[in-house]
Structure 1
Amino acid sequence: MRLYAQTPARRTRQILADLIAAALIYAAVKLALVVHDAIGRLADPGRKAESAGNSLSGGLHDAGEAASKVPFVGGQLKRQLGSAADAGTGLADAGRSLQDTVGHVATLTTVVLIVIPVLFVLLLWLPPRVRWIRRSAVTQRLAAGPGGADILALRVLTGSQRALAAVPAPPGGLAEAWRRGDEQVIADLAAIGMRQAGLRA
């Protein structure tokens, strides 16, 4: 299986198309990661809120434990400080929830920004490459098989007439020469067929 043509012009076009496809895929991934980082920074307030809530909750719990030792009102102070500590825990939970939401949005956006451009590039670039690889493999097998040159010559005769301009027409025309089995004409036509497929005769 041949990945690139043997003829310089077609091989250059194929390499250029491959490089452009790779560059576009790289750019899409790079852009998606930059956007992911930018969206991820939106979670900073959530991290600060979680940290502040945890600190507040821990401090109020400690204060409640210390206040519980105060005679007569210690139990009531502990309950009040415990309620305030629960509010701090709620603030920490809200901070974590914000971080989770931002993380999900960043991940989903990144996936979309990678998948859509990559699919678009692959749909434009991959089918022609696969078709050429298959066609060149078939042409090579045909050329190597018995009567392959005759079949390639017939392909050229029934294809675009522009390609026939390079072959000197013998008396009676190219088709008549092919029917007679003119080896030179068949070889010339087969060589054109190989070049059309991007292969050397």
Structure 2
Amino acid sequence: MKLYADTPVRASLQLISDLFALVWVVVWVHAALTLREVILSLNRPGELMSSTGEGFTEHMSTAAENVRQVPLAGEALATPFVNLSETGATLGEAGDSFQETVASLAVTLPMLVAVLPLFLIAATWLPMRARWIGRATDTRRLNRLAPEARTRLLALRALTSASATRLLRVHDDPAGAWQGNDRAAVAGLAALELRSLGLRQGTTRAKRS
């Protein structure tokens, strides 16, 4: 697999783009994890509400049971404690609901923070790099062919991928020159394809021997 170009400038640009993509991913993943920790830290009030509500309910329920033992007026005296016990239960439920909301936000918001930037890099940098690696790797595999066959295939790829302006700089009729096996034009087209990938013709020939 060919990961980087042979020419220093193209290889440097590719390396810089790879490093930028790596830093981009690390920064946004770290930002998402940091945001998650910040959101989870907000869970403390909910925990306090839940524990306070549970403790308050337990104490009021115990007090109500004790007051009920008072002869004659026990049930009447227990009513306020029962009401307070229900209030504690409501507070505990509110705390539980708060914790569930925080937990949901701790998943949703960091995911949005991370997924959108990662999708951006996956939709731009990744296809470009994958396309270049595929073309460069296929080009290197052409070294197994005879020099003339390799040159003609490279020239054919240039005809299908290069712009008309660049093709016309090689020959006034590049397609006709390729069909007529004009050696100079075919070699020029092959060189054009190699230059577009940042590969050196001398390197590909050396690898065959």
TM-score normalised by L of structure 2 = 0.74
Residues 167 and 189 of structure 2 are in contact (CA less than 8 Å); yes or no, is this contact kept in structure 1? no
Structure 2 matches for 1:1-201, cutoff 5 A?
1-146=1-146, 147-153=149-155, 159=162, 160=166, 179=181, 181=183, 190=190, 193-199=193-199, 200-201=203-204
The 1:58–1:116 alpha-carbon spacing in structure 2 relative to 1, beyond 3 Å, is same
Q: Which moved more, 1:25-34 or 1:4-13?
A: 4-13
CA contact (8 A) 2:155 2:193 kept: yes
Paired residue secondary structure (1:69)? coil
AA of the residue aligned to 1:134: G
Summarize deviations over 1:74-121 as a string: whole Å, max 9, x none: 233334322211110111101111121122123211111111011011
Structure 1 residues 155 and 81: CA distance shift in structure 2, 3 A: closer
Contact in 2 for aligned 1:63/1:81 (Cα 8 Å): yes
Taking a change above 3 Å as real, the CA distance of residues 61 and 140 of structure 1, as seen in their structure-2 partners, is same
Q: Which moved more, 1:2-11 or 1:150-159?
A: 150-159
Deviations 1:3-38 (A, max 9, x none): 233333322222211111111111111112222233
- Change in 2 beyond 3 A, CA 1:33/1:93: same
Bigger shift: residues 144-153 or 11-20: 144-153
Moved over 6 A (4+): 161-164, 185-189
Q: Which runs of 5+ in 2 are unaligned?
A: 171-176, 205-209
Gaps of 5+ in 1: 165-174
Aligned residue pair count: 188
* Code of the aligned partner of 2:154: L
CA separation of 1:69/1:8 partners in 2, compared to 1, >3 Å: closer, same or farther? same
